[in-house]
Structure formats: structure tokens, C-alpha cells
Amino acid sequence: MRGVTASIPSPAAEDYALIAPLLLDWYDRHARTLPWRIAPVAGGQAAPADPYRIWLSEVMLQQTTVAAVKPYFEKFTSRWPDVAALAAAAEEDVMAAWAGLGYYSRARNLVACARKVAERGGFPATEAQLRALPGLGAYTAAAVAAIAFGQRAVVVDANVERVVSRLFAITQALPASRKLIGQYADRITPHTRPGDFAQAMMDLGSGICTTRQPKCLLCPVANHCAARAWGDPARYPVKLPKKPKPTRQGCAYWIEQDAAVWLVTRQGKGMLGGMRSLPDDGWNAGSDGSGQPPVSGPWLDAGLVRHTFTHFALEMSVLRFQGSGPVAPDVAGEWWPIDRLEDAGLPTLFAKAATAAINAD
């Protein structure tokens, strides 16, 4: 099979039909055990999955590893066991529980979606209806429809992109190739067991068809893989060179008084929106910070923390206030007990800054 670029050739239908049975048979024997997953039933459809657990896991897994998500998923489902409980939660509590997972707009959308679902009495069962819920993009809607409701939906995440790109040796580079990848994924998605098939593709990409050094000898569809036939599966998916990220400079300020630290709540939209954090000097993706502290007086340099966001890298100096007497920061916030700082749900960046400030001499 030759590599393809911008259009799909028309091979015999049986060439596509072979892939799903082979992959599902492999999945029946090798499916990962995950806290949100219903184990497959060999040769048949697994029991219906809880749409709440599938939706929650899929939102958490966006741009995040399974290993990182597992403890958060367990914490969330223990505290909010169903969508009604999550819908009734205070947004600030959900944001605090989300701290460390990153991409915090997902947490805000999580609350908005839970409230919408609770209002309508449950999750809708079709991909189109799911797509209309707050924060559900094409991938999440397809995943919930297929896995929780057994609807035939084309589920394409990063793992599936890689598998499909290799199966058909797609030479067009990402992201332009995504439409073509979706078309090929549609061709091989079965009408029976679509949820198991979607999870099988994810598992194949995660454990066998890996980014580097794919384990082709263990792959159940290796004999149908064009990239393997061409001898260089790791070349796919083709990607354009990454543009270098700019590095921004900024400051964060630790202001302590009576065993409490001054925390602010960031604006609901924008970088780390809605999260509690230390005051900072206004750094953002487009510019460095102003360097202006919220209190005048002596400051101790407590070190430098580095963090990489999607579009830029940040080098943030941590300054600890050294003045004495009552303090009145000129930025709105609250005094938070230092011995309960973990309950504040600081994003990873500011958790690192807090540690630096506490450990400063």
C-alpha cells in the first residue's frame, strides 16, 4: 500500500473490514484496566458504561497522561460520585480540586456542563446532542457517544491519529492531515462494539504503536500496516517543525502576616482563570511582567521558578516581603492560613512559587 496524501483511494472493502475484528480480538485479551472503564466481554458488547465517568475521564485526559489523571479521577468521583453532585458543587471547590491538572478552562467547563446535564435530567445519548453541551468538543462527544451509549462514532485522539497515520502511511503533515485521518478512521470504525473499538485503538497507540520504537511484532494489525510495509513506521504521523516558544519574565509575591499569606483570585477568563494564586506583576503570553509589587518595602529574592505553557515559557522570580507591621496589599485578595495552603488549590506554577518562598532564608 502506498502512502496517501490528500484523498482516499478506493481499496476493496474487505481491506478495511479486516482491521476491526483483529483489533477487537486483541482488545478482549489485552485491554488496560482503568478506573473509568468497563472490561470488555470477549466476542460481545461490554456492559453499558456510566456516561458521567466516561465524560469526566475524557475531559481530564485531554492533553494529560493516564497516570496523572488516575488519582484526580478517584478524588473527583469520591467527592462528587455523579453528575448531580458535581452540578451542585461550588465552582471554586472544583477549581481547587482540579489544581495541578492544567488547562483550567476545562474545570470551568466541567461545572457548566454538569449543571446543564443535571438540568435536563441526564446525558443525551447521541453525538450531536452531546456536542451541544458546554465544553464538549468533537472528540469528547464522539468518545462518550461510542463508549457510554454504544453509538457508532469516529473517535480520534492523539493515539488514534498515530495509529491511523501509520496504517495508511499518510504523508500529509499534521495538523492539515487531520481531516484525512478522520476519513480513514471512519472507514475502519465498525457498527458493532464501537466503544470497545475506540478504546482498543487508544490502547494500541498507548502501548504498542508508540511514538518512538513501535512494537510492530506485537501489533495485531501489523500485516495491514502500510507504514510497516514501507519500513519506517516511526516516521508517521508526519509533523511540521515546531516553532520555538518565547520566554517571558515575571514576578510572584509572597506577602505573609500572622501565619497567613495573601492570595488573589485570577480573572475568570485568561491565563489560569478563576484560580487562587499569589499576586504577580501581570506577565502573560504576550509580554513580560511590569515588575511592580503590590506592597512597597523590602523584598527577599526567594528564587526562580520555570514553567512551560502551551504558547510560551515563563521564568518567574519569587519575592518574599520582608517588612514588619500590618500589611495592606493594593490588590484584592484574602489572607489564607499557611498551614492550609494545600486546600487553596494553587496551580502548579504558584505551588512551586509558594514552596520557594517558604523555604527561603
**Of 235, 262, 278, which marks where a domain is finished?**
235
Q: Assess whether 40 and 132 both reside in one domain.
A: yes
Q: Does some domain include residue 352?
A: yes
**Residue 191 pLDDT exceeds 70:** yes
301 forms bridges with which residues in the sheet? 319
pLDDT, position 3? 57
Residue 25 lies in a domain: yes
Average pLDDT, the chain: 90
The residue-averaged pLDDT of 334-355 equals: 93
Let me know whether 326 and 252 are in one domain. yes
- CATH number of the domain residue 53 falls in: 1.10.340.30
pLDDT(11) > 90: no
Q: Which of 150, 145, 116, 118 is nearest to 55 (CA)?
A: 145
Task: Please check whether residues 43 and 135 belong to one and the same domain.
Answer: yes
pLDDT at 110: 94
Range 211-215, long-range pairs (CB < 8 A, 24+ positions): 211/162, 214/166
Tell me what percent of the residues of the chain surpass a pLDDT of 90. 73
Out of 58, 119, 315, 342, pick the active-site residue.
58
The verdict on residue 6 lying in a domain is no
Predicted pLDDT of residue 2? 53
In terms of domains, do 145 and 273 share one? no
Distance, first Cα to last Cα, the chain: 65
What cell numbers appear for 250 in the block? 515575571
For CA atoms 123, 129, 130, 133, give the dihedral sign. Answer: negative
Q: Looking at the structure, do residues 260 and 343 belong to the same domain, yes or no?
A: yes
256 is catalytic: no
Q: 235, 270, 286: which is the final residue of a domain?
A: 235
Q: Which residues contact 211 (CB under 8 A, 6 or more apart)?
A: 162, 234
Of 235, 263, 298, which residue constitutes the final position of a domain? 235
Same domain, 40 and 137: yes
- Give the span between the Cα atoms of 111 and 94, in whole angstroms: 8
Strand segments (E) across the chain:
247-254, 256-257, 260-265, 276-277, 299-308, 313-321, 334-337
Provide the number of structural domains found in the chain.
Answer: 2
**In angstroms, rounded to a whole number, what is the distance separating the alpha carbons of residues 162 and 219?**
14
Q: Which domain holds residue 185?
A: 13-235
Cα 333 to Cα 105, 261, 336, 353: the distances in Å are 21, 10, 9, 17
pLDDT at 45: 59
Task: Say whether pLDDT at 10 is over 60.
Answer: no
pLDDT value of position 296 = 85
The letter for the amino acid at 91 is E
Residue 138 has a CB neighbour count (10 Å cut-off) of 15
293-309 pLDDT per residue, tens: 888 889 999 999 999 98
Report pLDDT for 331: 87
Residue of 161, 211, 187 whose CA lies nearest to 19: 187
Convert the pLDDT of each residue in 152-184 to its tens digit.
999 999 999 999 999 999 999 999 999 999 999
Residues 259 and 167 occupy one common structural domain: no
Per-residue confidence at 292, pLDDT binned at 50, 70, 90? confident
Rounded to an integer, the average pLDDT of 43-69 is 86
The domain that holds 255 is classified in CATH as 3.90.79.10
**Is the pLDDT assigned to residue 1 strictly greater than 50?**
no
Mean pLDDT lowest among 4-13, 71-80, 216-225, 233-242: 4-13
What was the pLDDT predicted at 235?
A: 94
The residue among 44 and 85 whose pLDDT is bigger is: 85
**Among all chains, which residue has been given the C-alpha cell 494564586?**
277
Backbone angles phi, psi at 178, to 5 degrees: -60, -35
* pTM: predicted TM-score of the whole model, two decimal places: 0.82
* Residue 157 within a domain: yes
Q: Is 305 exposed, middle or buried (0-12, 13-18, 19+ CB in 10 A)?
A: buried
List phi, psi (to 5°) of 241: -60, 140
Least confidently predicted of 7-11, 142-146, 154-158: 7-11
Identify whether residues 314 and 337 lie together within a single domain: yes
**Could you report the per-residue pLDDT of 317-331, keeping only the tens digit for each?**
999 999 877 788 888
In the predicted model, is pLDDT for residue 7 greater than 50? no
Q: Tell the residue number behind the cell numbers 469528547, with chain if given.
A: 140
65 pLDDT more than 70: yes
